[in-house]
Amino acid sequence: MAKYVLRRLVGAIPLVLGIATIIFFLINLAPGSPIDLIVGPGVTREFREQMIRNFGLDQPLHIQYVKWLGAMFTGDFGYSFSQTRPVRDVLLGFLPNTVTLSLAALFVAFLFGVVLGTVQAVRQYSALDSGLSVALLFFYSMPSFWLALMLVLVMSLMLGWFPVSGTVSTDYEFLSFTGRVVDRVRHLALPTLSLALVLTAGIARYMRGSMLEVVRQDYVRTAHAKGLPERVVVFKHALRNALIPIVTLVGLYLPFLFSGTVFIETIFAWPGMGRAIVGAIFQRDYPLVMAGSFFFATMVVLANLVADILYAVVDPRIRYE
Amino acid sequence: MRSLSRTAAARAVFAITASAVLSACGGDGGTRARPVPNVAFCQDVLPRVDAWVAQAREANPTPDDPRFGGTAVVGTIGEMADGMNAAVSSDYSATQHQQFVNLMTLVDYDVDANPRPYLAESWEVAEDNTSVTFHIRQDVYWHDGEQTDAHDVAFTYRVVTNPETAFPNAAFWNHYVQGDEGVEVLDDFTVRVLMEPHAEFLDPFRTVAILPEHLLGDVPPAELKQHPFGTQCPVGNGPFVFWSHSPQERWVFEANPAFPEALGGRPFLDRYVYRIIPEQTTLLAELLTQNIDVYISPAPDQAQRIVDDPEVELLRYPFRNYVLVGWNARRPQLSDARVRRAITMGTDRESIVQAILQGYGTVANGSVPPFHWAYDSDAPGLGYDPDGARALLEEAGWVDRDGDGIRENASGEPLSISIKYNTGNQQRQDIAEIMQAQLSEVGIEVTPQVVEWATLLQQINTPEVRDFDGVVMGWVVEFKLDDTDLFHSERIDEPFAWSGTRNADMDRLLVQLGRTVDREEARALWAEYQEVLIEEQPYTFFYFPERLDGVSTRLMGVQMDARGEWLNVKDWYLDPASR
């Protein structure tokens, strides 16, 4: 197993490097420059050139590339133009927010998805099954930013149950320890729900299908035949096997959650990675864009690896040797 | 199998609570510990700030007045990019916080834009207008305890006029003697700057805040932009002390207990918070649920919601920006001023202002916005006149020769232009599309074209490129107006000469306006300049939007106008009954 993981990790290096290289040239060749976004009228050419030098953009592209690559190997991702801090600090600052939100959404989505999908499969063609299908399809076809706005409208504006946006309250520093945890969880609720509800629908559909396939297997019929109660058959014999294909989804959704939450982060004023990177692209903040995409590429590779390892955990028949 | 799903679930629950708890551990429960960025400069300077504030608090007990206390929150769409670093920032909110919140400027403006003392308690202008001597207040301290003096002023002046700093508003110093020769410290609290006579010469000293020499004096100018002073641990001397900054989330400031009595003393608020909320719908929801006290610049279509809610009120006032369509007169279709005038006359700007701004704005006929002393509401302009437009086009030789509804010139080229605007800007898109519809009535074919912002700037600002016919843009101006970079023919190959028109009268007036110190004299010149703008039409000036702000009724004493939203933040207070 360890050998397999190692081999996969080594194999990922050229992949991540390739992605980083493509991104480097793409963003540098994109029209527009960070300088245009800063200077106003009255700026002479000398000033512009000084600014270009201050940003280190006066060197030829291939030199910049070699420098950037070299620096990256030493863990130095350079200096963010738009946030006036080292890129590493920028990313490390936003990472905890993104991780918290992604993990919370993933957990909620899988919990609901697996439970609802199982219920639907077990009660196939019942009114409950159809009702859930309609409800899930409703959430599935909903753009998550719209869902987010509706949640704000209902849960915050009308009912006042949850705060509208932000990660903490204004008086956070004055709260007790428990108060702080509660405050954080309350702020986490709506963004998590907006992300999770859409995912839940997909996971539940997969789960339902997978479960239906499993309950037709001989060993499930055998379990029924030897008189085991329904609960035991479903949870002990069927569920684990039905979960195998679902595990793949973790690998698919995790990188999506890390990078694809821009709308949610924007609506809930959640200072996360997605917003940082998209903002950086618009501002031509080359160092931040490159470090960010490097990070996301690494995340995708790692998430896929995690999914493959989870296979082995869920299904003892799968061995990586 | 049951055990598996249960442990997996348990692990996930653990991971989530752990991360919530970990992030909650930022301070020791209940007491307030200032987050200190992991940077040597900050770790050195912030404890000194804390010590000074504690001592200042003891020495200046809060007066017994119910207006003192509480936290006010301002919500806005964007981050303050370069923070409190006055030497490198051009961002509006950042400049406002440098002027009114964390730092101080030498002078500020009264309601009529007349300079009045602030950090400089007085000043003298040389008889021949070639120098200004500032006398600095002797009771202002940096928040780490050092006194603010003339050396700080001289240092700031040297830094912002040093080309290596790349100060973004370099035009401020066009008529000043730049660098070391331009500034002279006469004694610890007296400093003189040298200049040639020019209009509104005090305006830069209203905008550019003074920086601390004892903290930044050793930083090479080219590295100033990256210095942690800007966004991680600014040390100001203004009415509010920096407390913390979480990027893209919020800035927190605290009252400066030792702010000079003569300038109003300690602000009423204990804490002032600047929150970044990138979505306007969310901002509105936060205002309506009383989680923020001020919503900076709501969209015109949100204004009615604010007006209708009894707990918030809408402030509206003329502001410093205008929206325009710039014409590239280098293009053969647009090189004739008659065509540019016909385009303006063929566009019903009045109804567009009503539609797009819900009436919160006025039609613009020139570059002097309504807030300005030189603005003349009766200034002539080109009204909506499709027949006049058609006549002008005929006169210029553009006639529909093939009956397709689009005019052609003698050689058969159609009068067809594209208008570019930037992605995600609904108002500018509306302008381009309405112009398309209205101008087809007079025989001009308009194609709206959307371009991503940075790409658009490159296309219009690069002198060798200028890949556009028309472009919808906006300008934000300072109190000192100067269109030289936009319209003077000598600047035709500089980035902002979008139209590239040449007009000798315009050149002469721009130079004269730049040199005229007396406002009354200047007023006559501005009127003359207005006539030339109408004739030349380098832009179709579109509208001056009113600035809107949503303010909670529990926040009192708020005054806002073209000088900015934060101009009297130190006088804001929370209704004692609401706390």
Of B204, B206, B152, the residue nearest B175 (C-alpha)? B204
Give the mean pLDDT of B104-133: 95
Residue for token pair 């428990």: A178
Residue B447 has pLDDT above 70, yes or no: yes
Give the range with max mean pLDDT: A97-106, B24-33, B167-176, B542-551: B542-551
More confidently predicted of B477 and B209: B209
Count of residues for chain A? 321
Contact B495 A39 (CB under 8 A): yes
Which residues of chain B have a CB within 8 Å of the CB of A149? 281
pLDDT tens-digit map of B239-289: 999 999 999 999 999 999 999 999 999 999 999 999 999 999 999 999 999
Residue B81 has its nearest CB partner, among A82, A104, A236, at A82
Residue of A nearest to B251 (CA): A170
Beta carbons of B207 and B201 less than 8 angstroms apart: no
Give the range with max mean pLDDT: A56-60, A251-255, B567-571: B567-571
More confidently predicted of A111 and B81: A111
Which residues of chain B have a CB within 8 Å of the CB of A314? 4
Contact B282 A269 (CB under 8 A): yes
Give the mean pLDDT of B289-312: 95
Query: Which residues, in sequence order, are CB contacts of A91 under 8 Å at separation 6+?
Result: A77, A273, A276, A288, A291, A292, A295
Beta carbons of B138 and B178 less than 8 angstroms apart: no
Measured between CB atoms, does A182 come within 8 Å of chain B? no
d(CA A132, CA A139) in angstroms, rounded, equals: 11
Residue B286 has its nearest CB partner, among A84, A164, A239, at A164
Q: In the prediction, which pLDDT does A21 show?
A: 86
More confidently predicted of B94 and A311: B94
How many angstroms from the chain centroid is the CA of residue A227? Answer: 44
More confidently predicted of A286 and B254: B254
Question: What does DSSP assign to residue A235?
Answer: I
Residue B7 has pLDDT above 80, yes or no: no
Of A182, A211, A3, A24, the residue nearest A119 (C-alpha)? A211
Q: In the prediction, which pLDDT does B257 show?
A: 96
CA distance B399 to chain A (A): 38
Contact B495 A173 (CB under 8 A): no
Contact B163 A149 (CB under 8 A): no
pLDDT tens-digit map of B315-372: 999 999 999 999 999 999 999 999 999 999 999 999 999 999 999 999 999 999 999 9
CA distance B496 to chain A (A): 6
d(CA B546, CA B560) in angstroms, rounded, equals: 12
Contact A185 B482 (CB under 8 A): no
Beta bridge partners, B399, equal B408
Question: What does DSSP assign to residue A123?
Answer: T
Which residues of chain B have a CB within 8 Å of the CB of A36? 454, 457-458, 461, 495
Give the mean pLDDT of A303-317: 78
Residue A257 has pLDDT above 80, yes or no: no
Residue from A91, A165, A186 to probe the interface with B (highest B Cβ count within 10 Å): A165
**C-alpha to C-alpha distances, B264 to B116, B122, B191, B248, B323, nearest whole angstrom:** 14, 17, 24, 31, 37
Residue B19 has pLDDT above 70, yes or no: no
CA A79-A83-A87 angle, to 5 degrees, is 35
d(CA B283, CA B260) in angstroms, rounded, equals: 34
Helix (H, G, I), strand (E, B) or coil at B106: coil
Q: In the prediction, which pLDDT does B545 show?
A: 95
Question: What does DSSP assign to residue B195?
Answer: B
Which residues of chain B have a CB within 8 Å of the CB of A156? 285, 289
Q: In the prediction, which pLDDT does B383 show?
A: 92
**C-alpha to C-alpha distances, A203 to A60, A126, A254, A260, A280, nearest whole angstrom:** 48, 20, 13, 17, 32
Residue A253 pLDDT class (50, 70, 90 cuts): confident
Contact B20 A236 (CB under 8 A): no
Average pLDDT across chain A, whole number: 85
d(CA A228, CA A214) in angstroms, rounded, equals: 16
The DSSP element (H or E) to which B312 belongs, if any, is strand B312-318
Beta carbons of B152 and B211 less than 8 angstroms apart: yes
More confidently predicted of A214 and B552: B552
3-state secondary structure B199-215: CCCCHHHHHCCCCCHHH
Q: CB atoms < 10 A from the CB of B397, how many?
A: 14
The per-residue DSSP string of B112-164 comes to TS-EEESSEEEEEE-TTSSEEEEEE-SS-B-TTSPBP-HHHHHHHHHHHH-GG
Count of residues for chain B? 579
Q: In the prediction, which pLDDT does B26 show?
A: 40
Q: In the prediction, which pLDDT does A321 show?
A: 61
> Which tokens is B233 given?
């641990």
How many angstroms from the chain centroid is the CA of residue B119? Answer: 22
pLDDT tens-digit map of B458-477: 899 888 889 999 999 999 88
Question: What does DSSP assign to residue A280?
Answer: H
CA distance B36 to chain A (A): 13
Beta carbons of A151 and A267 less than 8 angstroms apart: no
Residue B16 pLDDT class (50, 70, 90 cuts): very low
pLDDT tens-digit map of A100-134: 998 899 999 999 999 999 999 888 889 999 999 99
Q: In the prediction, which pLDDT does B95 show?
A: 94
CA B486-B489-B491 angle, to 5 degrees, is 60
Residue A54 has its nearest CB partner, among B222, B279, B484, at B222
Q: For strand B183-187 and strand B190-194, is the pairing parallel, antiparallel, or unpaired? A: antiparallel
Measured between CB atoms, does A312 come within 8 Å of chain B? no
End-to-end Cα spacing for chain B: 55
> Which tokens is B282 given?
């969310």
Q: CB atoms < 10 A from the CB of B201, how many?
A: 20
Measured between CB atoms, does A73 come within 8 Å of chain B? no
Contact B231 A84 (CB under 8 A): yes
Residue A246 has pLDDT above 90, yes or no: no
Question: What does DSSP assign to residue B61?
Answer: P
> Which tokens is B338 given?
């008659």
The share of chain B scoring above pLDDT 90, in percent, equals 80
Residue from B23, B456, B460, B539 to probe the interface with A (highest A Cβ count within 10 Å): B23
Beta carbons of A264 and A191 less than 8 angstroms apart: yes
Average pLDDT across chain B, whole number: 91
Residue B152 has pLDDT above 50, yes or no: yes
ipTM of the complex: 0.84
The per-residue DSSP string of A168-225 comes to S-TTGGGS-HHHHHHHHHHHHHHHHHHHHHHHHHHHHHHHHHHHHHHHTSHHHHHHHH
> Which tokens is B87 given?
């030497």
**Which of A28-42, B337-351, B405-419 shows the lowest mean pLDDT across its residues?**
A28-42
Beta carbons of A146 and A234 less than 8 angstroms apart: no
Residue of B nearest to A103 (CA): B16
More confidently predicted of A94 and B171: A94
CA distance A14 to chain B (A): 31
Contact B171 A42 (CB under 8 A): yes
How many angstroms from the chain centroid is the CA of residue A236? Answer: 31
Residue B8 pLDDT class (50, 70, 90 cuts): very low
Residue of B nearest to A79 (CA): B226
**Which of A232-246, B221-235, B360-374, B394-408 shows the lowest mean pLDDT across its residues?**
A232-246
- This prediction has a pTM of 0.87
Contact B458 A266 (CB under 8 A): no
Helix (H, G, I), strand (E, B) or coil at B279: coil
> Which tokens is A193 given?
């729900």
d(CA B283, CA B353) in angstroms, rounded, equals: 24
Residue B400 has pLDDT above 90, yes or no: yes
**Which of A3-17, B326-340, B415-429, B509-523 shows the lowest mean pLDDT across its residues?**
A3-17
d(CA B259, CA B238) in angstroms, rounded, equals: 7
pLDDT tens-digit map of A37-88: 777 666 667 777 877 887 778 888 888 888 888 887 787 888 888 887 888 8
Residue of B nearest to A162 (CA): B289
Helix (H, G, I), strand (E, B) or coil at A84: coil
Count of A-B CB contacts under 8 Å: 211
Which residues of chain B have a CB within 8 Å of the CB of A275? 248, 278
Contact A31 B27 (CB under 8 A): no
Measured between CB atoms, does A90 come within 8 Å of chain B? yes
d(CA B411, CA B90) in angstroms, rounded, equals: 47
Give the mean pLDDT of B212-224: 94
Contact A184 B20 (CB under 8 A): yes
Residue B5 pLDDT class (50, 70, 90 cuts): very low
d(CA A152, CA A137) in angstroms, rounded, equals: 21
Task: Give residue A201's identity as a one-letter amino acid code.
Answer: A
Residue from B457, B466, B480 to probe the interface with A (highest A Cβ count within 10 Å): B457
Q: In the prediction, which pLDDT does B553 show?
A: 96
Give the mean pLDDT of B85-113: 93
The share of chain A scoring above pLDDT 90, in percent, equals 22
**Which of B48-57, B160-169, B499-508 shows the lowest mean pLDDT across its residues?**
B160-169
Q: In the prediction, which pLDDT does B86 show?
A: 95
d(CA B458, CA B469) in angstroms, rounded, equals: 14
Measured between CB atoms, does A108 come within 8 Å of chain B? no
Beta carbons of B254 and B273 less than 8 angstroms apart: no
Of A258, A253, A256, A261, the residue nearest A310 (C-alpha)? A253
Query: Which residues, in sequence order, are CB contacts of B554 under 8 Å at separation 6+?
Result: B290, B293, B311, B574, B575, B578
Residue A36 has its nearest CB partner, among B85, B169, B458, at B458
CA A204-A207-A213 angle, to 5 degrees, is 145
Q: In the prediction, which pLDDT does A259 show?
A: 65
Residue of A nearest to B89 (CA): A38
Contact A180 B24 (CB under 8 A): yes
Residue B136 has pLDDT above 90, yes or no: yes
Contact B455 A31 (CB under 8 A): yes
Q: In the prediction, which pLDDT does B14 show?
A: 45
> Rounded to the nearest 5°, which phi and psi values hold at B363?
-65, 140
Residue B168 has its nearest CB partner, among A38, A152, A279, at A38
d(CA A216, CA A218) in angstroms, rounded, equals: 7
Q: For strand B250-255 and strand B470-476, is the pairing parallel, antiparallel, or unpaired? A: unpaired
d(CA A111, CA A115) in angstroms, rounded, equals: 6
Contact A50 B273 (CB under 8 A): no
